[in-house]
Structure 1
Amino acid sequence: MRALILVMDSVGIGAAPDAAAYGDDGADTIGHIADACAGGDADNDVRQGPLHLPHLVELGLGEAHRLATGRQLTGLAYRGEVRPQYGCASELSKGKDTPSGHWEIAGVPVRFNWGYFPRTEPCFPPGLIDAFVQQAGLPGVLGNRHASGTDIIEELGEAHLQSGKPICYTSADSVFQIAAHEETFGLERLYEVCAVARGLVDHLNIGRVIARPFTGASSRNFKRTSHRRDFAVPPPEPTILDIAKAEHREIVSIGKIDDIFAHRGTGLNKRGDGNDALFDCMLEGWDHLADGGLLFANFVDFDSVYGHRRDVAGYAAALEAFDARVPELMERLKSGDLLVITADHGCDPTWRGSDHTREQVPVLVSGAPRGSPIGKRRGFADIGATVARHLDLPPLAHGSPF
């Protein structure tokens, strides 16, 4: 009896009930990708035909989207019987950021307001930057505004190489992001300055300081690497990870899960460069996970590589590549194992801007006893509550098992 929570980062399935308050009424990550593929609108000459996700659709992805939006999508319709249980969930936490979504999945909704930086230039308070430069021993900073990470590196990367000044920027999330060249600035040096920044933004209630290392010699070939690190505040209450640890259960975390939870209760962490490598890590961790154990995995490429970059065709191809590997996981499920596939927010690649979108998420379950339909869930914490019950852990403070 084991459990696996698999987060397809940003794979939303339609605007949340409160999406209008976030400027996201009408956003639909999976729906708009499917629409673009069916209509030939994806910006890729190689892209032909409808979105093809047979294994995720068999697990209930298309039906979860229909439940959330009322639309039956080309490429997501399933003619057979959907085998497992499926549903959709709307977030209770304030915001549409990564920590809030993951913490709520793990049983801790974020009821407080995060701190954010204004859409001005400069966006960071002068006192913050002055203290950061002084305490980190820097010659200054570049950027100091809202920006797409890839765009600002392309724009300011060469100036960074010449000056030694890190590139600091933010987004609609509660983040202070620092980009620097992995070789000339140094990866460990980047982590050190991020740790300095973490201490300086705590009083502003900023959720994450993110190290964004990159390589390359010029704007023509700058590329972000897989050595990103998130310096996050810890969850305000015990999550399912904390409870599982207290019960001496084996825990394996995949990808950036350990960063998201500030390395609290995340057990053995495995990382890989890209979704395929992360899938390999997940299978390896799952193969060796003890009875009663919990594996928590995040697949970030959907969000960081395709969603934020508004790459519809790339997102579609990534979904199809991921779907093709789902059978490898399904064949490893044993009697008594529970699999929950979900997401933490949306990042509609057809939407304006480059930020996350406030969306419902799929809840695709395999291994649970057949019971009442999952239906529409108010809050992601029902996922954590269900996993806790399945693993015979003490109940979480939030959420209702389905």
Structure 2
Amino acid sequence: MSKTNKTNKTSRASKTVIVVVDGFGVGAMPDAGALRPGDLAADTCGHVLDRCRDAFGRPLRLPVLGALGLGLVHPHPDLARRTQLPVAVGRAALGYPGADTFAGHQTMMGADFSRVTVARLADHLDEVTRALTDAGHRVELLEGKPLLVVDGAVLVHDNLEADPGINWNASGRVDDLGFDGILAVARTVRAVAPVARVIAVGGHADGPLPGFVRDGDGGTIGLDTPATGFYRNGGLQVQHLGAELDHTRQLPDLAARAGVPVTLVGKAADILACEAAVRRPAVDTAEVLAHTLEAVRTDGDALVVANVQESDLAGHQQDVERYGRILEQVDAGLAALLSLLTEPGDRLIVTGDHGNDPTIGHAFHTREYVPVLIHRPGAAGVELLPDAASLADVGATAAAALGLDPTGLANGTEIRGSSARAA
């Protein structure tokens, strides 16, 4: 396909790489205490640096993140306060409710998630029950609780592994119904659900699912999925059904239609839509970085969106030392990327999708600003950027770097100064 909708900033092929360090926040947003007042103290970056210095007896070794300007965004004694690299650095507000990986990535790619509702299933039981009944299912409450049992086999419930009201699940034992049956229930729920995600989950459990139901935070009730054995018994099947989006107005599709090859790496391969994209799903950080480097080494234009998931997993596990080791591993991978992204049209953007402070005292995401560190080969000096209103501004900035028109996205504004090129 010819690149007729490129703005032709440069005739040379250019590569834009977005590395999302999942759960990497740089301080609480002003509304972070709305759900949990203690979250106003959230600071994933700062607290990991502090605790790892104590645990390791040395500062974390993050020379590349320092050179990319992390210390300018988050002043900390273990981070350099100046850099010789040509970078534009700032922070971004999330631009969507709550703190969620799916909503974060959809927003970053240009979707408008600002109107997605945070809601408990209990507040929408009537419409969900009606939709399932109209679809021919048998529906009942579980022992009078605000949790639905569908066809005697599938539980429709609040997701207890994310912030209250962010996601709902449809969970079942594949031995009882099969995953296709669980997925059919989830799709019916998705059609009426106001939340960002409805997640179909199937697997092999240690017993009947009602025995693993428990109360969650914020008045939620749901299945304790880790306790069921789904994660350890093999055969786990999961499908994320997101809120309705126009994926043609997101960055991967915009780039692909312009003839720019798109590669989605790590969790980005699981949750972003683009039929033309090469997908490299992976959880292991070394594998994510290897796939990213492989995509950058190809000839011609390229858009690569990579998600480092293990940082988020460390946050959920409240494992500060693991989080610190993952950051050091990411830093080494960024060094290799910088060695390949050397031409004036290239861009490396390092950011996050939310916070996940492993010291905060709970296993949920934290609502924090995220860093926006943009390497601009050939540009002059360092530019400090104003706070971006939304992660969508990151996607718009990447579009502009590729010579695409950011107004082709549903949401987002190019960050001022971030796409400046050498004269």
Report the TM-score range of the alignment, normalised by the length of the smaller protein.
Answer: 0.7 to 0.9
Q: 1:349 aligns with which of 358, 371, 374?
A: 358
1:62 and 2:62 matched: no
Change (3 A) 1:383 1:398: same
Counterparts of 2:184 and 2:380, CA distance in 1: 47
Q: Name the SS of the counterpart of 2:73 in structure 1.
A: helix
Q: CA RMSD in A?
A: 3.6
Q: 2:187 aligns with which of 198, 203, 207?
A: 198
1-10 vs 383-392, which moves further: 383-392
Partner of 1:276: 286
1:314 and 2:322 matched: yes
* Residue 332 (structure 1) shift: 1.9
Alignment identity in percent? 29
Letter in 1 for 2:27: G
Counterparts of 2:191 and 2:43, CA distance in 1: 33
Q: Where in structure 2 are the equivalents of 1:3-402 lying within 5 Å?
A: 3-23=16-36, 24-40=39-55, 47-66=56-75, 72-73=76-77, 75-78=78-81, 81=84, 83-117=86-120, 134=138, 139-141=152-154, 144=157, 147-148=160-161, 171-172=163-164, 174-177=166-169, 185=175, 189-190=178-179, 193-211=182-200, 223=231, 228-236=238-246, 238-261=249-272, 263-264=273-274, 267-288=277-298, 290-303=299-312, 305-335=313-343, 336-367=345-376, 369-370=379-380, 372-396=383-407, 397-402=411-416
213-222 vs 89-98, which moves further: 213-222
* Residue 63 (structure 1) shift: 2.0
Change (3 A) 1:94 1:273: closer
Letter in 1 for 2:24: V
* Residue 203 (structure 1) shift: 0.8
Look at both structures and tell me which one has the larger radius of gyration over its CA atoms.
2
Letter in 2 for 1:286: V
Q: Name the SS of the counterpart of 1:297 in structure 2.
A: strand
2:169–2:201: 8 Å Cα contact kept in structure 1?
yes
1:6–1:298: 8 Å Cα contact kept in structure 2?
yes
Where does structure 2 lack aligned partners over 5 or more consecutive residues? 1-13, 140-148, 208-226, 417-423
Counterparts of 1:266 and 1:206, CA distance in 2: 27
2:69–2:82: 8 Å Cα contact kept in structure 1?
no
* Residue 211 (structure 1) shift: 4.9
1:132–1:200: 8 Å Cα contact kept in structure 2?
no
Count of residue pairs the alignment pairs up: 362
1:8–1:343: 8 Å Cα contact kept in structure 2?
yes
Q: Name the SS of the counterpart of 1:331 in structure 2.
A: helix
Q: TM-score, normalised on structure 2?
A: 0.73
- Per-residue displacement from partner, 1:235-254 (whole Å, max 9, x unpaired)? 35711223212323211111
Letter in 1 for 2:253: D
Letter in 2 for 1:347: N
Q: Name the SS of the counterpart of 1:344 in structure 2.
A: coil
Letter in 2 for 1:207: A
